[in-house]
């Protein structure tokens, strides 16, 4: 059984004016997502600026998300690291905090081999009992999980059950789906590929777009799941311009800016990320207005 089907939000981490985690606003965001159809909360992922959270903040954000969500939808905790030992520490803490599943990005900077990835993921998986979603995003980590590697992990490690595919390589994802033959669930990691990946058997999306447009994102995936393929295609194509604006600078700079523009107190991004350029901010405003998300 899939961890979730439909649209999970890769939720931002809001910060206060003095750069602390704004838990009150995070709680409001979680409620808003669930009220608007979001099928899972993914906490402390790339969009949540996990790389600049302290160990204490990372642990507390996961604990808070689990407690606040209170079983309404699954909570998936981002616990990946380029240190296998640190990923194990984060993962075991997330499991103890009640997370429903883990999202484990490929180890960045080290540039592990495929055999190294198998050892890395197997060791983490053996340290916990909850399900694991592999996260393949080579543009950010410099490492690509080959289809053969993902399938080997899914077939040989009981709790490795899914992969978030953000390679942008539809051919590779098609090969993965063919080799897997159902042994691993596939989630789109790119908002502009929800329908294409679901057409290959994907279960849904782990979404940045959902931060600003949860109902739209849910409806794209749910219409596909319900067999309303033309409506899913229509909504996917209508969202392309907004998605492009949300990725016109490195994620999560635009989506956090967008959240602030539409009335949330998301705060600033942490260095080394920096404020969005004025030209791109104006582009983003226009797309938010066109989508009916701001006046």
Pick the CATH number of 6-233 from 2.60.40.1120, 3.20.20.70, 3.20.20.140, 3.40.50.2000: 3.20.20.70
CA-wise closest residue to 91 among 106, 111, 76: 76
Ranges of each domain in the chain: 6-233
CB contact at 8 A, 169 and 176? no
Residue 229 has a pLDDT of 98
Q: State the Cα–Cα distance between residues 47 and 31, nearest whole angstrom.
A: 18
pLDDT tens profile 153-206: 999 999 999 999 999 999 999 999 999 999 999 999 999 999 999 999 999 999
pLDDT tens profile 49-99: 999 999 999 999 999 999 999 999 999 999 999 999 999 999 999 999 999
Residue 158 has a pLDDT of 97
CB contact at 8 A, 4 and 204? yes
pLDDT tens profile 110-156: 999 999 999 999 999 999 999 999 999 999 999 999 999 999 999 99
Catalytic residues: 135, 164
Chain centroid to Cα 5, Å, comes to: 14
Confidence band (pLDDT; 50, 70, 90) for 295? confident
For residue 58, the SS3 value is helix
pLDDT tens profile 217-247: 999 999 999 999 999 999 999 999 999 999 9
Cα of first residue to Cα of last residue in the chain, in angstroms, is 41
Residue 1 has a pLDDT of 83
Average pLDDT rounded to a whole number, residues 37-44: 98
């Amino acid at each position: 059984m899939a961890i979730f089907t439909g649209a999970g939000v890769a939720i931002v981490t809001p910060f206060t004016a003095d750069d602390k985690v704004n838990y009150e606003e995070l709680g409001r965001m979680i409620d808003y997502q669930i009220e608007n159809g979001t099928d899972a909360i993914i906490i402390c992922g790339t969009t949540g600026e996990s790389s600049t959270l302290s160990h204490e903040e990372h642990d507390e954000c996961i604990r808070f998300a689990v407690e606040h969500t209170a079983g309404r939808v699954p909570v998936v905790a981002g616990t990946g690291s380029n240190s296998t030992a640190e990923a194990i520490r984060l993962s075991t803490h997330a499991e103890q905090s009640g997370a429903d599943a883990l999202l484990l990005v490929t180890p960045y900077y080290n540039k592990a081999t495929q055999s190294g990835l198998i050892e890395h993921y197997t060791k983490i998986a053996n340290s916990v009992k909850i399900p694991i979603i592999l996260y393949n995003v080579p543009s950010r980590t410099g490492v690509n999980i080959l289809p053969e590697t993902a399938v080997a992990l899914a077939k040989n490690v009981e709790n490795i059950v899914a992969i978030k595919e953000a390679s942008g390589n539809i051919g590779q994802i098609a090969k993965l789906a063919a080799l897997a033959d159902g042994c691993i669930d596939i989630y789109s990691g790119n908002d502009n590929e929800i329908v294409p990946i679901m057409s290959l058997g994907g279960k849904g999306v782990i979404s940045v777009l959902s931060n600003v447009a949860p109902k739209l994102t849910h409806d794209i995936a749910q219409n596909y799941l319900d067999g309303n393929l033309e409506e899913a295609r229509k909504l996917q194509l209508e969202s392309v311009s907004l998605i492009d604006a949300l990725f016109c600078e490195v994620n999560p700079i635009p989506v956090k800016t967008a959240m602030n523009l539409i009335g949330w107190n998301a705060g600033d991004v942490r260095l080394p990320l920096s404020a969005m350029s004025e030209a791109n901010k104006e582009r983003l405003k226009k797309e938010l207005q066109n989508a009916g998300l701001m006046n």
